[in-house]
Amino acid sequence: MKQAKMLDVGKLREDFSILNKKINGKNLIYLDNGATSLTPESVIGAMNEYYGEYNANVHRSIHSIGERATIEYEKAHEKVARFINAEFEEIIFTRGTTESLNTLAYCLTKKLKGGDVIVLSEMEHHSNLVPWQQLAKEKNLIVKYIKINENFELDLEHAKKIIDEKTKIVSVTHVSNVLGTINDVKEICKLAHSNKAIFIVDSAQGIPHISVDVKDIDCDFLCFSGHKMLGPTGIGVLYGKKELLEKLDPFLFGGEMIKEVNFENSKWNDLPWKFEAGTPNIAGGIGLGATIDYLNKVGIKNIKEYQEYLTEYGIKRLNEIGVKIYCSKNPKNRSGVITFKINGIHAHDVVALLDRDGIAIRGGHMCAMPLVTKVLNENSLCRASLYFYNTPGEIDKLVEGIKKAKEIFHVI
């Protein structure tokens, strides 16, 4: 096991002031990055600068600060586009992955007819399951789920069986928020396209940890959130291929998305603004731009390499104390998520006991209730989700905390 040399974690930690805070009298050990990540000073600074120096609306106000706000907000779109190898017109800012996926569910099912099939997977977060499930009920569509195998990866043979000419949409997660599995979205994309189906990637848990190239994947749409990649909450992205976005009708109507309005008819604005009705989350958008700058500086490839090391260390240490871990055996196929179960202690109690030591992890269904309760057959699980500012020392503290919890519950 070798540690990635390129990341100076101690130095990077200085960028996150929250890491100096005491929680219940102890140093914060933040292992709940799957829920939301911490925010570096440069991102907070970029948003403060907007509010403190050029607080104005975008695309309407032609005075100096309005112009600066417009430039910065558009620049953020450009940065996101470059980050995922897309074009400027293909980047729509939303409230987050959930809103991006809901928008797609409404827009894309509009033209579907009864009996058409939507394929998801068993490891979807509620946000990539419930919108499709509910619209399917309304329009008599059929939802099918790609199964997961015993190594907690998607069963591609099963995918081949269920994706057929009746399939109109395939939407799967890039990285599972429970299992940490990195899915072979490129392969599933080929399956979808060979059946003329639209292919969507939910990259909420992917983009913070692995390089994303939409042209390489060849996906039609890709969604993610700012706050899971060090950015602010309330801002997210919907990427779509230009030719598809041009064909789609807008989902929300109002200001900003319009070019011309009379009492009878309206003309839509150009991409991407056609899908950004109303005054957007300007500070959030600018903050997301600053987030991309920060991630580029650290380097996604370095993050991936360091996390592979840290995750392997975490799995090894947790295995030593006999907890049951749910993740792929292949280090290359997993992100920094370690979901586990301690026999004899409910996840909520584990979370509460670790919190006393300032250690933040997640317990419960992790917003993937069908996966946890029906596929893994568990009522509740614990999840430690890592990011590059976490250290092996913090993992050791987690292990100590679990040992203490076992003592309190008399679990050997």
Partner 1 sequence: MTKFDDNMDPNWTGDEEVYRENIIDHFKNPRNFGEIVEAEIKHSELNSVCGDIIRLFVKLKDGKVIDAKFKGNGCAISIAATSMMTDALKGKTFEEIKNLSKEDIFEMLGIKLGIVRMKCGLLCLNTLMNGIKTLEEKK
Q: How far is the CB of 364 from partner 1 (least distance, A)?
A: 5
Q: How far is the CB of 27 from partner 1 (least distance, A)?
A: 16
**What is the residue-wise DSSP string for 233-290?**
TT-EEEEE-HHHHHHSPPSS-SSSSEEEE-SS-EEEPPTTGGG--SS--HHHHHHHHH
Nearer to partner 1 by Cβ, of 300 and 367: the residue is 367
The beta strands (E) that lie in 262-379 are given as 266-268, 324-325, 337-341, 359-360, 362-364
Is 189 catalytic? The answer is: no
Q: How far is the CB of 385 from partner 1 (least distance, A)?
A: 17
Q: How far is the CB of 198 from partner 1 (least distance, A)?
A: 31
Q: How far is the CB of 130 from partner 1 (least distance, A)?
A: 13
Nearer to partner 1 by Cβ, of 126 and 317: the residue is 126
Burial of 385 (0-12, 13-18, 19+ CB in 10 A): buried
Nearer to partner 1 by Cβ, of 317 and 404: the residue is 404
Q: Do 165 and 195 form a contact (C-beta atoms < 8 A)? A: yes
Where does this chain bind partner 1 (CB under 8 A)? Answer: 24, 344-349, 351-353, 356, 363-365, 369, 372-373, 379-380, 408-410
Q: How many CB atoms lie within 10 A of CB 80?
A: 25
Q: How far is the CB of 379 from partner 1 (least distance, A)?
A: 5
Dist. CA 169–CA 294, nearest whole Å: 34
Dist. CA 121–CA 229, nearest whole Å: 23
Dist. CA 100–CA 93, nearest whole Å: 9
The DSSP call for residue 371 is: I
Nearer to partner 1 by Cβ, of 77 and 125: the residue is 125
Nearer to partner 1 by Cβ, of 309 and 409: the residue is 409
Q: Do 324 and 340 form a contact (C-beta atoms < 8 A)? A: yes
**What is the residue-wise DSSP string for 29-76?**
EE-BTTT-----HHHHHHHHHHHHH----SSS--SHHHHHHHHHHHHH
| Interacting residues of 118 by C-beta distance below 8 A, sequence separation 6+ | 109, 132, 136, 141, 142, 143, 144, 167, 168, 169, 170, 171
Nearer to partner 1 by Cβ, of 235 and 347: the residue is 347
Nearer to partner 1 by Cβ, of 142 and 369: the residue is 369
Q: Do 249 and 96 form a contact (C-beta atoms < 8 A)? A: no
Dist. CA 284–CA 236, nearest whole Å: 9
Q: Given 107, 219, 223, 367, which residue is catalytic? A: 367
Dist. CA 81–CA 4, nearest whole Å: 28
Would you give the distance in Å from CA 140 to the centre of its chain?
A: 29
Task: Give me the amino acid identity at 233.
Answer: T
Give the residue from 139, 135, 144 showing the smallest Cα distance to 172. Answer: 144
Kind and range of the H or E element at 138? helix 130-139
Q: How far is the CB of 365 from partner 1 (least distance, A)?
A: 5
Q: Do 91 and 77 form a contact (C-beta atoms < 8 A)? A: yes
Dist. CA 157–CA 391, nearest whole Å: 38
Q: How far is the CB of 290 from partner 1 (least distance, A)?
A: 32
Nearer to partner 1 by Cβ, of 80 and 372: the residue is 372
User: Which residues belong to the active site?
Assistant: 367
